[in-house]
Amino acid sequence: MSQSNQAEKMGLFERSISLWVAHCIVNGIAFGKIVGNSITIRSEMNIATVNIPVAILIKFLNRWSD
């Protein structure tokens, strides 16, 4: 299969993955600067050494993968 045929079959996300990654990095850094120390509060939310926000996110990921 030629490269032009492969490019035609790829979606927008696949064709511009580098831009998506750069966008996420820049927005993540900006979000971290804006939010500041409030992330410390979330990182201290533990029950029996389990971080609650992380546990919730893992639960959502498990539901999406089914």
9/3 Cα distance (integer angstroms):
10
Domains identified in the chain, total number: 2
Domain range enclosing 60: 37-66
In terms of pLDDT, which residue wins out, 1 or 51? Answer: 51
Of residues 9, 12, 15, the one with CA closest to residue 1: 9
The identity of residue 14, as a single letter, is E
Whole-model pTM: value is: 0.45
19, 42: one domain = no
pLDDT for 24-57, tens place per residue?
899 988 988 887 777 677 667 777 777 888 888 8
Where do the H-state alpha helices sit in the chain?
A: 3-9, 12-15, 17-35, 38-43, 52-65
